[in-house]
Amino acid sequence: MRTVTGKLLLFALSMMTIGVNAGHAQITNQLAFKAAQPFTVGNTTLAAGSYTIRQAEFDSTVLEIASTGGHPAVMVDTVSTQPESSQGSSHLVFNKYKNVLALSQIFPGNGNTGYTLVQGHPEQLAAKTETPTKQTVPTSAK
């Protein structure tokens, strides 16, 4: 009786672990995008140009956003967010204020859970006095 209960418990725990891991957002390789103007990520302002996004090796909730040349690069904390049903492909959402363009959300596509970036100080200041407009930018897998 004890071995049957132990096997059931082990099976249940392994199924819960698989379910929890499947629910996490995941960028399997890299996402690539082009920014037509400077934008902020957290507390860092990045110049217009081509960038890649990938998960940090040490934590799946931390993303690295780097120029295609490798520098500059910034690490940013994120929280999981559900994608809108109307957007099936991978894309980014920017919050556009009068003087700040801030990267806000990243969606890997195919209905996968996305990432909401933790707001940096420039965006927090702008949000106190303005309501942003949202801009969507497509990404490509790299």
Q: Helix (H, G, I), strand (E, B), or coil: what is residue 28?
A: coil
Mean pLDDT of the chain: 82
Can you give the pTM of this predicted structure? 0.76
Name the one residue in this structure whose structure tokens are 């940096």: 120
Q: How far is CA 10 from the centre of its chain?
A: 33
Q: pLDDT tens across 66-111, in order?
A: 998 878 899 999 999 887 766 678 999 999 999 999 999 999 887 7
Stretch 106-131: mean pLDDT: 91
Helix H or strand E segment including 9? helix 2-22
Among the listed residues 24, 30, 53, 48, the one whose alpha carbon sits nearest the alpha carbon of residue 38: 48
pLDDT at position 28 is 60
Which pLDDT value is given to residue 140?
Answer: 86
**For residue 22, is pLDDT > 50?**
no
